Chains A and B, each alone.
Chain A
Amino acid sequence: MERAVFVADLDRLPPEGEPYDRLYLGSEFCAWRLPEERELQEARGVAARRGVGFSLVTPFLDEPGLARTLALVRALPEDPATEVVANDLGLIEVLRGAGWGGTVVAGRLLTRQRRGPGFQSFGDVTAAAAAALRGSALDSPAFVELLGSYGVKRFELDDLVQGASIPVLPAGVHLSLYRPYLLVTATRNCPWIFDGRTWDRSRGCARPCRGQELHLVPQRRDPEAQHGLHLGGCAQFLEHRSDAPPPAGVDRIVWQPEIPA
């Protein structure tokens, strides 16, 4: 089982001596939160010195965000050992169209899943409903085949509290499982830059969210509302710690020592 460590910044790496096989760096939810090119190259250097693989994690993207992300991807060496975790179908489309030679992974936002608090408290539902609550976009063989035609052979999933159901996948398709934080929701209305009037980042962003989070506890007191959330950047995460063996087919654990925000 490959073990990747996912951090948003290099200064959040786990201590020396903690073993891992691959370094994930980047953001799933904000193009402004991506590393600068200098930081990207520094991270690649760290991975090379430690003898581990490197993956750049990229977010969902508007048009300016796509341009920014493409510039960063183009700063990477174009060979199969270079991995980009894409959380936007548009990035995959553009990279394929450009004949980009690195490896593209379908990140966890592309495989969908019902991750939010509340899905765990459904209680007595039919077996069909329970299966639907544990499913993902991978339940469609046509979707897996479609992204396969773009060269995507790895798909990533969250470790759902209610359990993740994984269908039988074609030979050669690999799966990653993220632990222990599930990415529940994200927004372009970033609370870290809201000036009381607008969230507009057209003039850039100084990343004021770095190294900070809000722990959110619902003030409601019914069973659906008992799960606290971690807000980092413009995303919210649900913590689910589990030592259970990953589902069959998973060959990479993406470990988040803290919320990747």
Chain B
Amino acid sequence: MKILCPVDSAAEAETLAGLGADELYGGYLPAQWTERFALAAPPNRRTFAEAQISDAGELRAVVAAAHAGGAEFFLTVNSPFYASGQYPALLALAEEALAAGTDAFIAADPGFILAARARWPGVRIHLSTLADAANSGAAAFWGRLGVERITLPRHLTLAATAALLAASPGRRFDAFVLYGQCPNDEGQCTFSHDHPGRVWPCVQPYTATPLPDTPRARRAAAAHAGWAGLSRADACGLCALWDLERLGVEAAKIVGRGTPTGRKAWAVTTVKELLGIIAAGCGREEFRAEARRRSHGRFAHRCDPRLCYVPELIPVEG
């Protein structure tokens, strides 16, 4: 299984490739785009500057550093759609990225994918999780558009993932294993994530009034309130690696564009070591225990279902 890791700078690309990341992905937001369209309608699903490579020179340097380290570089252009006035700027951005040596695009908009495939025959496209392709019909639909790999939605259970892969022979999939879990299905979420203080609507506190006021509705209100203030960034799915590897998932994807290099480095190192343990023949339960041990050593929380990619694997206490 490959390791697919976010990257924000050339120096970081060198570090992460050196640690064992096989593939790196990043976003590119030239100043002209921001001036024209504001951050409300970005070319990718991140709206803060730290998560963006901001000029063509840096983009070329990132790609060169990735390649020098033996890694591929994918550019994220994963807005779920683009307005008609954005396509010329988007295609210009993509052209610049290809000229810089970008190996593939991670995209979600059929309009962009169709335009890219028409303009650059053979261009490699990976489907973003924002396209929410969670069934074999969707995999076939995107395959028909020339999509090479599909990033699975964050919320699929292992059983749903297994069913999808079994029904999609020959298709290739990536799965998230660390950081950045969302309360909502990212592919269906239209919340604006551009508050300057990075206060996301999905995890801000709400006053919830049950209508009607029933015990069941009060329980639902409590469940919803549980998301408020959570550090979603610390989500983990390491214990699923054993199953994902057996299922044939191609890459373990790490979230975290715009986060510190040390955080990404820990993720790459840990996933690489865990994949090594799997390769050495470790059994499933033993592996899960080891993965949890590493997770608990890193994060302040124990296994919290809201911060877990596979809550069905959380052991039942007592």
Contacts and interface: CB of A to CB of B under 8 A. Distances in A.
Interface of A: 29, 60-66, 88-94, 97, 109, 112-119, 122, 125-126, 128-129, 131-137, 139-140, 142-143, 146, 165, 167, 184-189, 191-192, 194, 196-200, 202, 208-209, 212-220, 224-225, 229, 231, 236
Contacts of B312: 198, 200, 202
B137 A94 contact: yes
Contacts of B311: 197-200
A185 to B, nearest CB: 4
Contact of A202 (B153, B157, B211, B217): B157
Minimum-distance CB pairs A-B, first 5: A140-B111, A90-B137, A135-B83, A90-B138, A118-B192
A128 B41 CA distance: 10
Given A91-B137, A117-B191, A139-B84, 10 more contacts: A88-B137, A89-B142, A92-B141, A94-B137, A114-B40, A191-B221, A198-B305, A212-B217, A214-B224, A219-B206
Nearest to B197: A222
Nearest to A224: B195
Given A61-B135, A187-B155, A224 B192 contact: yes
A151 B171 CA distance: 25
Nearest to B82: A139
B207 A220 contact: no
Contacts of B259: none
Interface stretch (B4-12, B55-63, B158-166, B270-278): B158-166
B109 A140 contact: yes
Nearest to B132: A60
Given A60-B187, A136-B81, A231-B224, A219 B137 contact: no
Interface residues of B, number: 80
Contacts of B87: 139-140
A144 to B, nearest CB: 9
Contacts of B85: 128, 131-132
B291 interface: no
B41 A129 contact: yes
B160 A135 contact: no
Nearest to B108: A112
B200 to A, nearest CB: 10
Contact of B160 (A64, A122, A186, A198): A64
Interface string B28-69: 000000011110110000000000000000000000000000
Contacts of B314: 197-198
B216 A208 contact: yes
A202 B159 contact: yes
A212 B210 contact: yes
A109 B35 CA distance: 29
B83 A186 contact: no
A186 B191 CA distance: 10
A224 B211 CA distance: 24
A136 B109 CA distance: 11
Contacts of A219: 204-207
B212 interface: yes
A129 B41 CA distance: 7
A113 B41 CA distance: 11
Nearest to A120: B192
A104 to B, nearest CB: 12
Contacts of A117: 191-192, 201
A60 B189 contact: no
B280 interface: no
